[in-house]
Chain A
Amino acid sequence: DTAVSQTPKYLVTQMGNDKSIKCEQNLGHDTMYWYKQDSKKFLKIMFSYNNKELIINETVPNRFSPKSPDKAHLNLHINSLELGDSAVYFCASSQEPLGLAGNNEQFFGPGTRLTVL
C-alpha cells in the first residue's frame, strides 16, 4: 500500500496552461506539505497544511494555490505555468506539525516531474 501517493507522475505542458497535481496520504497524518525540487536537487518547502488549515506559506508566486478538501488530501493548482516552474514537486505528510511535536519525520510521495515547454 502506498503511504503517500501523487498523480500524475509526469506532467508535460505548454507555458500559460493551468494544471493540478493531486496528493493523498493514507497514514492518518494531520499535516501535509508541498515541496519543490529544482534541477540542482535543491529542496524548498512551498506550503504546509495541518487539519486542512494553512500553516506554512513560503514566498511562492500566487499562481500556486494549494487546496485541502480533507486532511488526507492536499492538491496543488498552478495557473499560467512558466518555464521556471519546471521541477519535481513532492508531497509529504507527518503525524503532527513539526512545531508541535518537534520531531515528527515526514513521509514523502514519489514526486511529480513537471516540464513546462
Chain B
Amino acid sequence: AQSVAQPEDQVNVAEGNPLTVKCTYSVSGNPYLFWYVQYPNRGLQFLLKYITGDNLVKGSYGFEAEFNKSQTSFHLKKPSALVSDSALYFCAVRDEGDSNYQLIWGAGTKLIIKP
C-alpha cells in the first residue's frame, strides 16, 4: 500500500539558518513526489515535484528537495530560512503504476521560523 510519512509535527528554526522538513514514502513502483505549502487561512500551493531525472529538485521561494531512493525520502530544504516561510508543509506521493487518480498526502509539518 502507498503511504507517506512526515515524522515531525513541528519544526522550529531560527531565521537565517538552514531548514529541513522530512518526508519518507512507501510505494511499490516508481514514486511521483510533491511538496505543497499552506499559509494560514489559505489553500495549498504547489512548491516542487520529483518525477524523474536529477535527484535534487528546485522549486518556488528558494526551496529544494532531494530524492533519495535508497532511503525512500524526499526531504524539503532551504539554505536560509525566512520568517515568511512559517507555514504548514505537506508531502504527497503517487505510485507511477497506480491506476488510482489520487495523491497520498502526509499529515503535514508545521514550520515555525523565529526572528
Interface, chain A (partner B; CB < 8 A):
4, 31, 40-45, 48, 50, 55-56, 58, 90, 92, 97-100, 102-103, 105-111
Which chain B positions have C-beta within 8 A of A90?
Answer: 43-44
Task: Contact check, B103 vs A98: say whether CB atoms are below 8 A apart.
Answer: yes
Task: Contact check, A105 vs B46: say whether CB atoms are below 8 A apart.
Answer: yes
Interface, chain B (partner A; CB < 8 A):
32, 34, 36, 38, 41-46, 49, 51, 88, 90, 94, 96, 98-103, 105, 107-108
Task: Contact check, B101 vs A106: say whether CB atoms are below 8 A apart.
Answer: no
- Known contacts: A43-B105, A103-B49. The answer to whether A56 contacts B43 by CB under 8 A is no
Which chain A positions have C-beta within 8 A of B107?
Answer: 40-42
Task: Contact check, A110 vs B43: say whether CB atoms are below 8 A apart.
Answer: yes
Task: Contact check, A102 vs B94: say whether CB atoms are below 8 A apart.
Answer: yes
CB distance from A67 to the nearest CB of B (A): 19
Task: Tally A-B pairs: CB < 8 A.
Answer: 66
Q: Which of A50, A98, A109 has the most CB of B within 10 A?
A: A98
Q: How far is the CA of A97 from the CA of B6 in the complex (A)?
A: 25
Name 6 A/B residue pairs within 8 A (Cβ), A-sorted. A41-B107, A45-B103, A99-B100, A102-B32, A109-B43, A110-B41
CB distance from A111 to the nearest CB of B (A): 5
Q: How far is the CA of A44 from the CA of B107 in the complex (A)?
A: 10
Residue on B with the closest CB to A45?
B102
Task: Contact check, B101 vs A97: say whether CB atoms are below 8 A apart.
Answer: yes
Task: Contact check, A99 vs B99: say whether CB atoms are below 8 A apart.
Answer: yes
Which chain A positions have C-beta within 8 A of B38?
Answer: 41
Residue on A with the closest CB to B47?
A105
- Known contacts: A43-B90, A111-B42, A111-B43. The answer to whether A105 contacts B34 by CB under 8 A is yes
Cβ 8 A contact of A102, one of B46, B51, B105 = B51
Task: Contact check, A56 vs B101: say whether CB atoms are below 8 A apart.
Answer: yes
- Known contacts: A48-B101, A99-B101. The answer to whether A106 contacts B46 by CB under 8 A is yes
Task: Contact check, A108 vs B51: say whether CB atoms are below 8 A apart.
Answer: no
Q: Which of B44, B45, B99, B107 has the most CB of A within 10 A?
A: B44
Residue on B with the closest CB to A48?
B101
Which chain B positions have C-beta within 8 A of A108?
Answer: 36, 43-45
